[in-house]
Amino acid sequence: MNVPPSDTPPSEPSPRHRREAPGRTAGAGPARGTVRIDTGLVSGVPGALPGVTVYRGIPYAASTAGPDRWRPPRPAPSWEGVRAADTFGDAPPQAGTGFAMSEDCLNLNVWTAASAGGERRPVYVWIFGGGFSGGRGSDPVFDGSVLAGKGLVVVTFNYRLGALGFLATPGLSRESAHRASGNYGLLDQIAALEWVRRNISAFGGDPDQVSIGGQSAGAGSAGMLSLSPLAAGLFRRTVAQSHARHPGDPELRYLGTSYRRLDAAERQGAAYAAAHGATTPDELRALPWQDLDDAGTLGDDGVDTRSAARPPLFRPVLDGWVLPAGYHDTYARGAQNDVWYLAGNNLDETGAVPETAFDHWRRTGRRDRPGAPPVHVTLDDFVGSARHTYGALAMEFLRLYPAATDDEAARAANDAVRDRSRATTHLWGTQWVRGCGRPVHTYFWTHRPPGPDHDIRGAGHGSEIPYFFGTLHPADQGWTGRDREIADTMSSYLANYVATGDPNGPGLPAWPAYDPRTPTVMEVGAHFGPIPVAPPAELDFWKRYFAAQQPW
């Protein structure tokens, strides 16, 4: 069944943090009637806040079932009369869920507080994460009501996942006029942005002021779209929540930023097809999609990540068309799209965990899941991993991050992970701005939300999302007044950034723009203000380590 939005509406936007739309107060009531898009008339329903309208489940492309499986998305069919956009559409096929799924899943949702016409509000298009194998645009945490109340038009959408979204085979490549396969999920994302370009003005949005954002694999998608010539001109700004990393950082290879080369992807895809009893595209298309929902369990063992981690098997492909080149080559040519960038990482992710979780990890061990980072909470594991990961630099690493006991090793591992996360994004920024003159802002999220995950995950992967959206979902998590203040601040930063390219605004702590000559990052969450990326000796180590690796 479809999952409804939270029964408890998000908090009202703080008046001092609202952004006023031209000629109209942000959050004022729109006409909740019909709007015309290129496929017909569509009507919305009240959102979670007064004055906000949400349009749910609008098709932006046709079904991908049958002969359209593993083909670029086709235009959505038109309809007669008024389509009631009151229900979220089907999610992309994936394993282990309790919501409706089908291959007719290319739908999107729009939140707006604009009037029926004449306004041109900035637009935020959100790409969900989930390792390219799970997730949906209708997740209640992505409710756009608060951001709409602060002056944005918010769009969330679905894209194909797993084998259905990222399978490459020689046969599929031969079918393509571009001799390419494997990027169907990215092509869906581009089709959604093209739909926004054509239709968002009907909802009071400005097609020339579109920003994209995402978390984890959504952030990786946003980063890849920022490299893709097919997405050029469809958006002006990018928000990457977790994992904007330097091309020499081997962690690019297994996180949501990872990609495959076409020849390797085709070999893997042919083996996958044969294992499922198919050798041709037609035989593959005849399989039920339920036979192809195993992507979340499949890893790519052919990638040297300099660690025990491995990427998910199904992920984007350097196909020469959607993605002509990888990070290093694109940056070296200055060929990335001309967009602003906001990027950051979290305190307790990519292998860092709260001290309250040390015993938990010693008992349970590392999860052997594609895309999952190593967690080092014993001395033997920490030292052995350092020798494997850093090679000739291992002794220097262990001098910078010393440990003599299990607890010291776990704390040293945390320090190293956090320094690396801040350093890699800072050093990525030097390459991004060299080829693109637009401003960059970076952050480091440090607030540990309340609830059952507080002691185990802390400020973990994805913990910042309810604060950026301002939803504080789920409602029964024990949110405090401080959580609501942080959510108001973070959603205001985001609304300002989408509108102007600058997160700063009245009543907000000053967020300085990125400067490659100043190794600082904006801490957000537990505190607000610039902090050092890493101590000088440690930052120098990370520079040299990344420079010594084969760049991606």
Q: At what angle do helices 536-547 and 406-435 cross, to 10 degrees?
A: 70
What's the pLDDT at 279?
92
Write out the two tokens for 419: 């320094």
SS3 assignment, position 527:
coil
Sorting pLDDT into bands at 50, 70 and 90, what band is 294? Answer: confident
pLDDT in tens, 17-68: 433 332 232 333 333 679 999 999 999 999 999 999 999 999 999 999 999 9
Whole-number pLDDT of residue 296: 80
Q: Are 261 and 268 in contact (CB under 8 A)?
A: no
Domain 15-354+435-502 listed as CATH 3.50.50.60: no
Q: What is the pLDDT of residues 360-410, one digit of tens each?
A: 999 998 777 899 999 999 999 999 999 999 999 999 999 999 999 999 999
Rounded to whole angstroms, the Cα distance separating 24 from 31 reads 13
**In 10 A of CB 405, how many CB atoms?**
10
- Whether 244 shows a pLDDT value over 90: the answer reads yes
Per-residue pLDDT, 151:
97
pLDDT 10s digits, 407-448 = 999 999 999 999 999 999 999 999 999 988 899 999 999 999
Question: Distance between CA atoms of 311 and 299, rounded to whole angstroms?
Answer: 6
What tokens were used for 190?
A: 């581009």
pTM above 0.75, yes or no: yes
CB neighbours (10 Å) of residue 14?
18
- Region of 306 on the Ramachandran plot (φ > 0 left; ψ -120 to 50 alpha; else beta): left
Q: Which helix or strand (DSSP H or E) is residue 410 part of? A: helix 406-435
Query: Do residues 351 and 411 make contact, with C-beta atoms less than 8 angstroms apart?
Result: no
Band the pLDDT of 117: cuts 50, 70, 90. Answer: low
Summarised one tens digit per residue, pLDDT across range 226-238 is 999 999 999 999 9
Q: How far apart are CA 132 and CA 452, in angstroms?
A: 26
Tokens of 154: 């918010």
Per-residue pLDDT band for 116 (boundaries 50, 70, 90) equals low
H-assigned helices in 127-261: 145-149, 162-166, 170-175, 184-199, 217-225
Q: What is the pLDDT of residue 24?
A: 30
Q: Which of 389, 345, 343 is nearest to 542 (CA)?
A: 389
Tell me which amino acid residue 548 is.
A
Look up tokens 């003599």; give the residue: 404
At 239 the pLDDT is 98
pLDDT band at 92 (very low <50, low <70, confident <90, very high): very high
Mean local confidence (pLDDT), 123-146: 98
- Whole-number pLDDT of residue 515: 96
Among 319, 193, 340, CA closest to 261: 319
Tokens representing 406 are: 């299990």
Give the C-alpha distances (Å, rounded to integers) separating 340 from 194, 223, 523. 19, 11, 20
Q: Is the Cβ–Cβ distance between 375 and 351 less than 8 Å?
A: yes
Rounded to whole angstroms, the Cα distance separating 460 from 179 reads 40
Catalytic residues: 216, 349, 461
